Amino acid sequence: MDFYGIELSSRLLLGTARYPSPKILEAAVRASRAEIVTVSLRREGGEQRAGQAFWSFISELGIRVLPNTAGCHSVKEAVTTAHMARELFGTTWIKLEVIGEADTLQPDVFGLVEAARILTEDGFDVFPYTTEDLVVAERLLEAGCRILMPWGAPIGSARGLNNIFGLRAMRAHFPDVPLVIDAGLGLPSHAAAAMELGYDAVLLNTAIAEAGDPVRMAEAFALAVDAGRLAHAASPMEPRDMAAPSTPVVGKAILA
């Protein structure tokens, strides 16, 4: 798997918020085998994370950091936060979020495209949190994005893949673009379903962080992502309307 020229073996990306403790977060990251963690500059920079101490802890994990603009509701906010993240983490990677609706945390796709264009022109490698809308996806690619991150469902909702048709259409429409399901997954089976659709990776946070046992759940998601990817590569059979016997009738003994 290739993200902006970086080869990765893990197809599971993890958020770092809402874990019971740094120790559990570290253990969950290890169990997930993730090679990328996302960090919110606005959220994690608050008093509850003790600022620089948290950044130091994240850097000690020894894996790639994908800063994000979580909590930003305008283009100006998102662009400013992205520049701060580049200064702090020394990376051109940015997960771009521009939230447009408070209840669902749905992206403001108009602001998202504008912010993506500004940031790519300024040398950023943008990972846009978007919807499954194909027109918006085209505009993001035109703006310079080389990866798309459609939501599965609203952030933290654990509802899984709300629009299978739309997500399948996006995969078919952009066969050569890395696609990552971002947000809304609650169970390992949701992650497996995303991979079975042909998506390249999944990104999640709450489903692991708020599980009764985050470490076991991280391992479960890692296994589910692997299983889903293998199933997709194996070209699964198509659903049928009628039964098809698995045992052939020819040669079957007939008792009089």
pLDDT digits (tens, 9 = 90+) for 181-239: 999 999 999 999 999 999 999 999 999 999 999 999 999 999 999 999 999 999 988 88
Of the two residues 177 and 44, the one the predictor is more confident about is 177
Alpha helices in the chain (DSSP H): 22-32, 41-44, 52-60, 75-89, 109-121, 134-142, 164-173, 188-196, 206-209, 214-233
Q: Is the pLDDT of residue 18 over 60?
A: yes
Please return the burial class of 165, using the count of CB atoms within 10 Å of its CB with bins 0-12, 13-18 and 19+.
Answer: exposed
Q: Is the pLDDT of residue 10 over 50?
A: yes
Domain-embedded: residue 94: yes
pLDDT value of residue 133: 97
- The CATH number of residue 141's host domain is 3.20.20.70
pLDDT value of residue 189: 98
Flag whether 212 is marked binding.
no
Q: What's the token pair of residue 44?
A: 């994690």
Average pLDDT over every residue of 24-33: 95
DSSP code of residue 94: E
Q: Is the pLDDT of residue 50 over 70?
A: no
Residue ranges making up the domain that contains 125 = 2-234
DSSP code of residue 99: B
pLDDT digits (tens, 9 = 90+) for 149-187: 999 999 999 999 999 999 999 999 999 999 999 999 999
In whole angstroms, give the CA distance from residue 28 to residue 96: 24
Residue 47: pLDDT band with limits 50, 70, 90: very low
Domain-embedded: residue 254: no
Flag whether 206 is marked binding.
yes
Domain-embedded: residue 60: yes
Q: In total, how many domains does the chain have?
A: 1
Active site residues: 95
Residue 89: pLDDT band with limits 50, 70, 90: confident
Q: What is the DSSP string of 181-248?
A: EES---SHHHHHHHHHTT-SEEEESHHHHTSSSHHHHHHHHHHHHHHHHHHHHT-PPPP-SS---SS-
pLDDT value of residue 88: 86
Domain-embedded: residue 223: yes
Q: Is the pLDDT of residue 49 over 50?
A: no
In whole angstroms, give the CA distance from residue 19 to residue 28: 9
Domain-embedded: residue 250: no
Say which residue the tokens 């020819």 belong to: 250
Average pLDDT over every residue of 58-81: 92
- CB-based contact 69:77 (threshold 8 Å): yes
pLDDT value of residue 250: 64
Query: Helix, strand or coil for residue 167?
Result: helix
Q: Mean pLDDT in the chain?
A: 92
Q: What's the token pair of residue 85?
A: 């993240």
Domain-embedded: residue 256: no
Query: Helix, strand or coil for residue 95?
Result: strand
Flag whether 183 is marked binding.
yes
Average pLDDT over every residue of 93-112: 95
Flag whether 162 is marked binding.
no
pTM to 2 decimal places: 0.90
Q: Which residues pair with 6 in a beta bridge?
A: 3
In whole angstroms, give the CA distance from residue 167 to residue 116: 21
pLDDT value of residue 115: 98
Can you give the length of the chain in residues? Answer: 256
Average pLDDT over every residue of 39-43: 75
